[in-house]
Amino acid sequence: MKINIFSIVLVMVIIVFSCTGKTSATNNDKETRVVISTEYGDMVVALYNDTPLHRDNFIKLAKEGFYDGLLFHRVIKDFMIQGGDPESKGAAPGKRLGGGGPGYQVPAEIVKGRYHKKGALAAARQGDNVNPERKSSGSQFYIVQGKVYDQATLQQFEQQQKFNAVRAEAMKMYRAKGDLVQRYQREGKSDSLSMLQISIQEEAEKIVEGQTFELLQEQRQAYTTIGGTPHLDGAYTVFGEVVEGLDVIDKIANAETAQGDRPLKDIVLKVKILD
């Protein structure tokens, strides 16, 4: 069945926050561990070695004390808790946050087998429409709370993953042919525009043909037991996971929030590297 994607690409604005390997941090004792401390308790996080750019950047910032005194400035129950915006330090009540960073981005390290189960540490980023390479924020991160899913819903997510892949390829081609699209629109060549739309859609489907979008067995196990946010898989860099203190995520996620998902009461964090 063909996926009718082009019309969605034309109007799409993506809102965000942006290989193989072992998927359990506890299987590798050499992984660097950090403690993210809050008034609700401590979360011990293992940083993955197969995402070295994100690992090393997080360690660097933590050692510099960059994160100390910042807030979990965006909290959405059953989804995630987000922090790392330097503008959140000492921010006035009601100030909208989420746009700050250290002045650079980190290249994407989206590794197959690293997924958004509960406790996953991932890098926030700008949306695909302005960030097609999916580069990560230099400092902002989120920790997944998510929720538990049944098998039927996970099958729907697999179908959505294919849809997203076709959409991403179509967006690339649409950007490349943007001048031609605009010319057809100016000249009122609706037939030519329709033919171009069909061509782009068919080419995008060919590119993703043969790719697998089935969840790994351990992903299914995680999403049907502890939960997570499977719709983010493959789109953001997951570079660690909480190995102690999952209950702290729940406590923070339950905080009362104002418009913009900022907690009414500041949730200050501190990050320390464990020896």
Is there a domain that residue 249 lies in?
A: yes
Same domain? 131 vs 246: yes
More confident residue, 223 or 1: 223
More confident residue, 4 or 221: 221
Same domain? 48 vs 130: yes
Same domain? 134 vs 255: yes
If DSSP codes are grouped into helix, strand and coil, which group holds residue 242?
Answer: strand
Is there a domain that residue 119 lies in?
A: yes
pLDDT of residue 82: 98
Same domain? 50 vs 117: yes
Q: Check residue 2 and give left, alpha or beta (phi > 0: left; psi -120 to 50: alpha).
A: beta
Query: How many distinct helices (H) and strands (E) make up the chain?
Result: 7, 10
Is there a domain that residue 45 lies in?
A: yes
Is there a domain that residue 11 lies in?
A: no
What residue type is assigned to position 123 of the chain? A
Same domain? 251 vs 163: no
Per residue in 241-272, pLDDT tens? 999 999 999 999 999 999 889 999 999 999 99
If DSSP codes are grouped into helix, strand and coil, which group holds residue 143?
Answer: strand
Same domain? 234 vs 124: yes
Is there a domain that residue 238 lies in?
A: yes
Total of domains in the chain: 2
Per residue in 80-106, pLDDT tens? 999 999 999 999 999 999 999 999 999
pLDDT of residue 39: 98
> 35-68 as b/e, with b when 16 or more CB fall inside 10 Å?
bbbbebeebbbbbbebbeebbebbeebbeeebbe
φ, ψ for residue 136, nearest 5 deg: -90, 155
Is there a domain that residue 89 lies in?
A: yes
Asked whether the beta carbons of 241 and 45 are under 8 A apart, the reply is yes
Terminal CA-CA length for the chain:
54
- Here the CATH number for the domain that contains residue 43 is 2.40.100.10
Same domain? 88 vs 197: no
Q: How many CB atoms are located within 10 Å of the residue 129 CB?
A: 14
Record the tokens describing residue 144, joined without a space: 């997944």
- Write down which residue in 179, 208, 237 finishes a domain: 208
Q: Find the domain containing 197 and state its range.
A: 152-208
Same domain? 130 vs 68: yes
pTM: 0.78
CA atoms within 13 A on the CB side of 45: 32
